[in-house]
Amino acid sequence: MFEPDIVILVFLLITSCTTSTDSNVDESEPTTGEEISFDQGLGKNPSEFVANWNKLVDEISEDEETLLYFSINPDKVQWASTDQNILFYQFGLNENTQSAFVLNILVADDIVEGVEFFSPVADDEVTSQRTRLFFLIIIAMSDNTLNKEGRDSVLSKVGLYDEVDNPNQIGGGVSINNIRYVVEPLVDRGVLRGINFYTTRKSG
């Protein structure tokens, strides 16, 4: 049974994505008109992916807290299985929290072909702001030819800006520049628990 509380949670996530001049995401955009210099991660080997991710985070971070939270510690990246086709990383391990952002890096023949990212849904602005910034970083790592408007357009096209009254209605998919972006809700007994965000390279 759908619970009214879900509407509040969904709108917290969506509203923070559509407005907020106070969020870390908006603060992370250059204020001087300078372009951010970075390389994408898809199509690179895992070490390059992590290095390019951290370079981008370093470029957009305006304080040490943001830099530390969103950076990937290479020593903490682990293979999720003996097949060595998925690398696992969890952000915010130093925080005493029940929810965590999780990044899975999909690897084939030592090349990053895609990412799977899990974002928790919580009734607080910080989590919502972090979610949007993580999504924008992942989009940038997937396609460095997109500008700010292009990255924001991806979020719109995958349904994050849609108003919904049922958590199962959240999400969608779009393909841009041979990259597939998909958002899926994680719903348990009618309650939205998190958002899964996938990006993959399309062959051909």
Q: Tens place of pLDDT for every residue, the chain, 204 residues?
A: 334 333 333 433 444 333 333 333 343 444 334 566 778 899 999 999 999 999 999 999 989 999 999 999 999 999 998 899 999 999 987 766 666 899 999 999 999 999 999 998 877 788 888 999 999 999 999 999 999 999 999 999 998 777 777 777 788 999 999 999 999 988 888 888 889 999 999 875
According to DSSP, the residues that pair with 199 across neighbouring strands are: 115, 181
Residue 87: what pLDDT? Answer: 97
Per-residue pLDDT, 138: 96
Q: Say if residues 109 and 196 touch (Cβ distance below 8 Å).
A: no
Pinpoint the alpha helices (H) of the chain: 4-18, 24-28, 46-60, 64-70, 125-142, 148-157
Global pTM reads: 0.81
Which residue has tokens 């293979």? Answer: 79
DSSP 122-152: -SSHHHHHHHHHHHHHHHHHH-TT--HHHHH
Q: What is the pLDDT of residue 204?
A: 58
Provide the pLDDT for residue 98: 61
Q: Name the residue range of residue 160's domain.
A: 4-27+39-201
Q: Is 12 domain-assigned?
A: yes
Sign of CA dihedral 54, 56, 59, 62: negative
Domain-located, residue 64: yes
Q: Does 73 fall in a domain?
A: yes
Residues near 57 by Cβ (< 8 Å), separated by ≥ 6? Answer: 66, 67, 70, 71, 137
pLDDT of residue 192: 82
Number of domains observed in the structure of the chain: 1
Task: Output the pLDDT for position 77.
Answer: 96
Instruction: Give the three-state DSSP class for 66.
Output: helix
Q: What is the pLDDT of residue 35?
A: 60
In a domain, 32, yes or no: no
pLDDT of residue 166: 76
Residue 34 lies in a domain: no
